[in-house]
Amino acid sequence: MRPLVGISCCQKPFGIFGTPNHAASDSYIRVVRGPVAGTPVLLPAAGEDLSAELLPHLDGLILTGSRSNVWPGYYDGPAHAEGTPEDRFRDDTTLPLIRAAIEHGVPLLAICRGMQELNVALGGSLDQRIQDLPGRMDHSTPSDQPIPKVRTGKAHAVRIGSDGALAQVITPAGRRAGRLAVNSLHNQGVQRLAPRLVAEAWAPDGTVEAVRVSGARSFALGVQWHPEYDWERDADSRAIFEAFGRACAAHRAARAALTGLAQAAE
């Protein structure tokens, strides 16, 4: 049986009545069924800590990107500018889930907003609008651009640390180059790096673009870009998901072995 991979949902209004729905992009479903070689499980933005109920059944966790921003009260930041989308229901579910997943060694891949959640969950803080800061690039992408260009177009390069976890999972060509070309669809970014996180990649303006969890028992990586949009064409994007998938498979095998031992002892 394939590993069960949890995918974090957002709570969004749908339909003419704006009914709250729990949603994740199809791109995450397809990448879990593809290079991750897992079975996707959508995790609701329930607004409460579900980690004790969910984690015993999961072999991996993907923290998805989203238009919404992490609520600044979780990192003692200033209030968002008027009109900034937030999702407190998601925050209240994912932040404790992140800490529990790391504690229990469940493989974790955090993407865009997910990486920002990872930083906040472990005690870091965020810049809310990088494009407004002196000397920084505009890392957001206008929503009126054609979708293929927004999602798969390479906005800038990131410099990859030579001895980090990311360097170990990308292709040999990417490792030799020491850099990757990535898309970019975010306003928030790391301000103060959480104590347990180690920076793995940087944009030309110094923005942290990838992190790993120091001392993690399993795969625990965050990337600020969206590799789920171009894994079918980009070998390095695919390699990230394949490495995550191997960790999920190993976690499932370990869970099965423990279950077998417990059954044998009964």
* pLDDT value, residue 144: 47
The reply to whether 112 belongs to the active site is yes
User: The whole model's pTM is what?
Assistant: 0.93
* pLDDT value, residue 157: 87
**CA-based nearest residue to 60, from 102, 107, 95:** 107
DSSP for the chain, please give it.
Answer: -PPEEEEE-EEEEETTTTEEEEE--HHHHHHHHTTT--EEEEE---SS--HHHHGGG-SEEEE---SSB--GGGTTPPPPPTT--B-HHHHHHHHHHHHHHHHHT--EEEETHHHHHHHHHTT--EES-GGGSTT-------TTS-HHHHHHS--EEEEEPTTSHHHHHS-HHHHHHTEEEE----S-EESS--TTEEEEEE-TT--EEEEEETT-SS-EEEESS-GGGTTTT-HHHHHHHHHHHHHHHHHHHHHHHHHHHHHHH-
The reply to whether 10 belongs to the active site is no
The reply to whether 186 belongs to the active site is no
**CA-based nearest residue to 116, from 155, 83, 90, 144:** 90
Report residues of the chain scoring pLDDT below 50. 143-144
Kindly name the residue from 139, 156, 186, 226 that is annotated as catalytic: 226
**CA-based nearest residue to 186, from 148, 223, 157, 233:** 223
Kindly name the residue from 9, 112, 248, 251 that is annotated as catalytic: 112
